[in-house]
């Protein structure tokens, strides 16, 4: 829940980039360093990887369950008329 609210705030800040001078790219760069434990940042490649993870999390639609995680048998039952 906190992460969702944080990303909502990021969107507002990004929409007002002219005033805030903070794009979504800058925000995700900054917070990728803050949100992950410092032990994972052993080299630049790890930092870049964490940034990629943040980018992908930001693009998720938290209101919809991704279809990839729904087992195929449930998907079929869901579409069947009872």
Concatenate the DSSP letters of all residues of 19-40 into one string. HH---HHHHHHHHHHHHS-GGG
Domain ranges of the chain: 2-79
pLDDT tens digit sequence for 44-59: 888 888 889 888 888 8
Please state, in angstroms and rounded to a whole number, the distance separating the CA atoms of residues 7 and 32.
12
pLDDT tens digit sequence for 9-26: 999 999 999 999 999 999
Report the predicted TM-score, pTM, of the whole model to 2 decimal places: 0.61
């Amino acid at each position: 829940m906190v992460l969702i609210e944080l990303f909502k705030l990021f969107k507002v800040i990004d929409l007002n980039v002219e005033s805030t001078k903070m794009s979504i790219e800058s925000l995700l760069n900054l917070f990728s360093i803050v949100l992950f434990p410092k032990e994972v940042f052993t080299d630049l490649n790890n930092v870049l990887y964490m940034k990629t993870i943040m980018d992908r999390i930001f693009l998720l639609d938290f209101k919809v369950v991704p279809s990839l995680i729904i087992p195929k048998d449930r998907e079929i039952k869901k579409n069947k008329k009872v």
